[in-house]
């Protein structure tokens, strides 16, 4: 768990989100189940209505009518394949043709008239939006009637129908003629060809249902991402940021996989369409590894696994970069290798931490197993190990949704545990204070009972108290942070020195220093480093002002004051410039950091003409300091010579 005493303050809106995260998640689960049942009911009603309305088939899966020829050299033209004997064509035996990753071109033909079986169909659909190049030829009695070029290597605007899949309106072909459709496919991705004939009404109904399911998935995942992003803004818990990154990357991967990305987000950017799948797969792996490190606290829990996951995260970052420059097939293989290495490792670390009694691991292990199994099914589908079906195409979405709910519940559970830890820590602190108070009262009673027996000890205590008082007296005039004299001492000593200078009619100088941009140093490096900066400047002041008769004091905040007795303006200017130069040339060093600093200074000097000119001298030095800051800082300004206390002396003379 995260340390309970380090949780930052939150606004009331964010606090409400944190306190009700579990309730929201259960509400989302109920909503998801209700909508799923509603959509399933609508789908069943629509299919029943369609069956009752007509006995004619509304769609045909052309997989059973496909004949296949592999062009390993990618050299054959349509005339070449039309001249091939029938024995060279292999009939398709699967529900969806799937050759996995391949470098060949593939030729297919379908006897359209035989597949239609006398029925009229409006569209030919190829349900794989990631195919690079498609050449479709409608051939009747050996003559090419229509030729169509498609593929995601072309701008989306070149498609005949504005749809995420490749949708081809069927030309008016007489069904009693010998009509074939030849298709040539070349792609750097997986060679899958789900191909169907559709009547327009049936296609619209099926497509609408598919879009509703996809919208439900994207809506739920986006809602999870937004809620957890707000929680991240409230807590600055980096686990939530990595979780949001994983969800968003998965959403964009699924959008690209199902054609929504190319249709809605980057319709005319073929370069990004080619590289996006590998990019988002690498992003999923990267954010998943970082989330695992953060959520399971591997740096504290398991050092070895921490370095393994950190290495995989770095490999994923490399995969993200390579996906932008390497060909799609190579970049995707790199990303798949990273996932293949990271996925079992995620399961393994979950098991290891669960066996060691680390409770958050139970959520993590369950969610990751669900997502891993669903992703492996999708991967097996894409490389040709499993047949293409609605289940194998969409199982990762279901797994990702379940994983998102489980991980969100885990994060909500962690917030509750943090709240409990805060309450427990507060109660422990109160109990500790009660124990201290009781101990103090008990000690006081014991001291009262033994006072007569410890008279000598009391005398020793009085002597020690006197010594402590001396120490306290010194502490009352020393600034604890800078170890310089404080303002209280300065006020007293400066008044004495000024009166001495007035009696002896000798020059006295005041230098006011101010650390430039000290607030920015505090804001950037923190108040602790700011304190070290104050001490650094104080050390330089003590180094240059060494006479016992002079004063070096911290005037307040980042301001310092120096009083030089028997020193004229030029002498004070020389000392001030030496101090400014050393602060500028020697940066403050702390914990491996070098922090450059500058100071501005104001110098005022003169011979007092009245003992009440002390405030005037300080004011002149302060005005000179203000002038130095106005002129650009990191410089010393000197006040013009003045007759110190002349006004007070004139008033006194008039009174007499």
- pLDDT band per the 50, 70, 90 thresholds, residue 391: low
Q: What tokens appear for 580 in the block? A: 């400014």
Mean pLDDT to the nearest integer, 624-634: 95
pLDDT, average across residues 631-643? 89
Distance between CA atoms of residues 618 and 513, nearest Å: 12
Q: Which of 53-67, 491-505, 563-577 has the lowest mean pLDDT?
A: 53-67
Burial (CB < 10 A; 0-12, 13-18, 19+), residue 406, is buried
Which range, 217-226, 345-354, 475-484, 591-600, is most confident?
A: 591-600
Mean pLDDT of the chain: 82
Main-chain phi, psi angles of 147, to 5 degrees? -130, 130
* 195-198 β-sheet, strand order: 59-61, 195-198, 123-126, 166-169
pLDDT reading at 163 higher than 80: yes
Packing angle, helices 487-504 and 614-630, rounded to 10: 120
pTM confidence score: 0.56
324-334: average pLDDT: 87
User: pLDDT: is 275 or 349 the higher one?
Assistant: 275
Burial class (CB in 10 A: 0-12, 13-18, 19+), 459: exposed
- Could you tell me where the beta strands, DSSP code E, fall in 519-656? 551-556, 559-565, 588-590, 593-595, 599-606, 636-638
Give the pLDDT of residue 47.
43
pLDDT for residue 604 is more than 80: yes
pLDDT at 596: 93
Whether residue 416 has pLDDT greater than 90: no
| Residue 81 pLDDT | 92
Q: Which residues contact residue 565 at a Cβ distance below 8 angstroms, ignoring those fewer than 6 apart?
A: 497, 500, 501, 506, 508, 547, 549, 550
Give the pLDDT confidence score for residue 16 in this predicted structure.
Answer: 47
Query: How many CA atoms within 13 Å lie on the side-chain side of 225?
Result: 18
From CA 558, how far away is CA 300, in angstroms rounded?
A: 39
Distance spanning both ends of the chain, measured CA to CA: 80
Dihedral of the CA atoms 236, 239, 245, 251 (nearest 10)?
-120
Q: Looking at per-residue confidence, does 439 or 61 come out higher?
A: 61
The CA dihedral of 336, 338, 341, 342, to the nearest 10 degrees, is -110
In this prediction, residue 42 carries a pLDDT of 46
Rounded CA-CA distance 219/307 in Å is 36
Work out the number of other CB atoms within 10 angstroms of the CB of residue 38. 11
Token pair belonging to 5? 């005493």
Q: Which residues pair with 251 in a beta bridge?
A: none
Of residues 23 and 216, more confidently modeled: 216
Mean pLDDT value across residues 312-331: 90
How much is the pLDDT for 656?
54
Q: How far is CA 117 from CA 88, 176, 179, 317, in A?
A: 25, 10, 12, 53
3-state secondary structure 320-344: HHHCCCCCHHHHHHHHHHHHHHHHH
Query: What's the rounded Cα separation, in Å, for the pair 335 and 496?
Result: 78
Q: How far is CA 194 from CA 62, 111, 188, 365, in A?
A: 8, 16, 17, 35
H/E run at residue 306: helix 303-322
Least confident of 259-263, 409-413, 562-566: 409-413
Residues serving a catalytic function are: 558
**What pLDDT shows up at residue 37?**
44
Q: Which of 321-325, 363-367, 578-582 has the lowest mean pLDDT?
A: 363-367
Using the structure block, give the residue that is written with the tokens 């942070």.
481
Domains of the chain with CATH codes: 4-40+209-421 (1.20.1070), 59-198 (2.60.40.2380), 473-648 (3.30.70.270)
Tens of pLDDT, residue by residue over 188-228, are: 888 889 999 999 899 999 888 888 888 888 888 888 888 88
> Quick check: 587 pLDDT over 70?
yes
How many CB atoms neighbour CB 644 within 10 A? 28
Per-position DSSP letters for 39-92, written without gaps between them? HHHHHHHHHHHHHHH-SS-SEEEGGGG-EEEEETTS---HHHHHTS-GGGSEEP
C-beta separation of 508 from 605 below 8 A: yes
In terms of Cα–Cα distance, which of 383, 479, 447 is closest to 102? 383
Tell me the three-class secondary structure of 390-445, residue by residue: HHHHHHHHHHHHHHHHHHHHHHHHHHHHHHHHHHHHHHHHHHHHHHHHHHHHHHHH
C-alpha span between 84 and 61 (Å, rounded): 25
Q: How far is CA 163 from the centre of its chain?
A: 34
Cα dihedral across residues 16, 18, 23, 24: positive or negative: positive
Tokens of 307: 């370095």
- pLDDT above 60 (res 176): no
Contact predicate 415/228, CB 8 Å: no
Is 264 in contact with 284 (CB distance < 8 Å)? Answer: no
199 Cβ contact partners less than 8 Å away, ≥ 6 residues apart: 58, 59, 120, 121, 122
């Amino acid at each position: 768990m995260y340390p309970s005493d380090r949780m930052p303050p939150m606004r009331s809106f964010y606090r409400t989100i944190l306190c009700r995260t579990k309730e929201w998640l259960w509400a989302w689960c109920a909503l998801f189940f209700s909508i799923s049942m509603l959509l399933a009911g609508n789908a069943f009603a629509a299919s029943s209505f369609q069956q009752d309305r007509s006995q004619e088939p509304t769609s045909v899966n052309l997989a059973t009518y496909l004949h296949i020829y592999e062009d390993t050299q990618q050299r054959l033209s349509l005339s070449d394949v039309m001249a091939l004997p029938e024995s060279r064509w292999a009939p398709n035996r699967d529900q969806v043709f799937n050759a996995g990753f391949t470098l060949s071109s593939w030729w297919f033909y379908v006897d359209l008239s035989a597949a239609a079986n006398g029925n009229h169909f409006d569209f030919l659909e190829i349900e794989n939006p990631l195919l690079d190049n498609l050449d479709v030829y409608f051939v009747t009695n050996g003559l090419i009637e229509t030729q169509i070029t498609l593929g995601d290597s072309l701008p989306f605007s070149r498609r005949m129908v504005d749809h995420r899949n490749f949708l081809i309106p069927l030309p008016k072909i007489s069904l009693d003629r010998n009509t074939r459709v030849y298709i040539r496919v070349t792609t750097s991705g997986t060679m899958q060809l789900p191909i169907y004939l559709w009547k327009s009404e049936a296609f619209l109904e099926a497509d609408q249902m598919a879009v509703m399911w996809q919208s439900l998935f994207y809506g739920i995942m986006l809602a999870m991402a937004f809620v957890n992003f707000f929680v991240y803004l409230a807590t600055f818990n980096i686990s939530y940021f990595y979780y949001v990154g994983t969800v968003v990357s998965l959403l964009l991967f699924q959008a690209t996989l199902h054609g929504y990305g190319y249709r809605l987000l980057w319709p005319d950017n073929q370069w990004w369409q080619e590289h996006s799948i590998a990019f988002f797969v690498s992003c999923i792996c990267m954010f998943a590894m970082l989330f695992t490190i953060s959520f399971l606290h591997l740096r504290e829990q398991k050092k070895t696994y921490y370095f393994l996951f950190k290495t995989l995260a770095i490999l994923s970052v490399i995969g993200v970069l390579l996906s932008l420059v390497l060909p799609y097939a190579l970049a995707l293989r790199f990303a798949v290798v990273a996932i293949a290495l990271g996925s079992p490792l995620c399961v393994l670390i979950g098991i290891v931490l669960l066996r060691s009694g680390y409770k958050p691991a139970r959520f993590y292990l369950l969610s990751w197993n669900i997502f891993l199994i669903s992703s492996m099914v999708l991967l097996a589908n894409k490389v040709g190990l499993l047949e293409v079906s609605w289940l194998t195409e969409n199982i990762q979405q279901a797994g990702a949704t379940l994983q998102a709910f489980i991980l969100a519940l885990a994060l909500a559970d962690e917030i509750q545990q943090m709240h409990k830890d805060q309450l427990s820590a507060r109660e422990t602190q109160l109990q500790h204070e009660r124990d201290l108070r009781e101990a103090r009262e008990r000690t006081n009673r014991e001291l009262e009972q033994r006072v007569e027996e410890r008279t000598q000890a009391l005398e020793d205590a009085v002597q020690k108290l006197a010594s402590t008082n001396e120490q306290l007296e010194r502490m009352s005039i020393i600034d604890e942070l800078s170890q310089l004299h404080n303002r209280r001492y300065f006020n007293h000593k400066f008044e004495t020195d000024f009166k001495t200078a007035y009696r002896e009619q000798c020059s006295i100088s005041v230098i006011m220093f101010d650390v430039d941009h000290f607030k920015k140093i505090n804001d950037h490096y923190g108040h602790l480093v700011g304190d070290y900066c104050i001490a650094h400047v104080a050390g330089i002041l003590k180094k240059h002002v060494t006479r016992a008769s002079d004063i070096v004091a911290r005037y307040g905040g980042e301001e310092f004051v120096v009083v030089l007795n028997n020193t004229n303006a030029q002498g004070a200017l020389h000392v001030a410039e030496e101090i400014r130069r050393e602060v500028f040339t020697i940066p403050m060093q702390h914990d491996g950091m070098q922090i450059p600093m500058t100071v501005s200074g104001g110098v005022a000097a003169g011979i007092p003409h009245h003992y009440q000119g002390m405030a005037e001298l300080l004011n002149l030095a302060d005005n000179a300091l203000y002038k130095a800051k106005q002129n650009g800082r990191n410089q010393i300004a000197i006040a013009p010579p003045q007759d110190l206390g002349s006004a007070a002396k004139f008033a006194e003379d008039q009174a007499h």
